[in-house]
Amino acid sequence: MGIGFRDTLAGMDCEQLSGGFFDGWPNPPSTSTFLKLLERSYAIELAVDEQTGNVVGFIQAISDGVLSAYIPLLEVLPEYKGQGIGSTLMQRMLHRLQGLYMIDLLCDPEIQTFYEKHSMQRSTGMSVRHYSNQAGHIGNKQND
């Protein structure tokens, strides 16, 4: 099974994104909301199963395009883990963002070593999580 990588959604549809991402989330976004968050990202990288055409991994970045970027999501479907897909997605994204001053992300302690392997440093951060909005339905025009 071959995996291809791409940095665009061109020619993709919702069905190619419906493989079971956001596993374990109490309020996962719908496939159409998932597509929307990728479309509105500053940069994306996708891992695609060349046999099925389905997305099996993704990473997204949001940025001002001047100094800073934030990587909110990197995910690989469980059945595709352990093949280096997440590392390739991370390398491709960091390469795309290399001209920026800072690239930040928040992650749980148990996966910090993964990001350290990609030259990221541990730092202190703060966050707010509104789990009731996790599905992406915040009731404003930005989500339409």
CA 39 to chain centre: 12
What is residue 133's predicted lDDT score, i.e. its pLDDT? 87
pLDDT band of residue 18 (cuts 50, 70, 90) is confident
pLDDT tens readout for residues 71-105: 999 999 999 999 999 999 999 999 999 999 999 99
Tell me how far apart the alpha carbons of residues 42 and 12 are, in angstroms, rounded to a whole number. 18
What are the helix (H) ranges across 1-144? 31-39, 85-96, 112-116
Q: In sequence order, what are the residues at sequence separation of 6 or more whose Cβ sits closer than 8 angstroms to the Cβ of residue 143? A: 33, 36, 136, 137
Query: What predicted TM-score, i.e. pTM, was given to this entire model?
Result: 0.90
Give the whole-angstrom CA distance, residue 144 versus residue 141.
5
- Residue at token pair 């001209």: 99
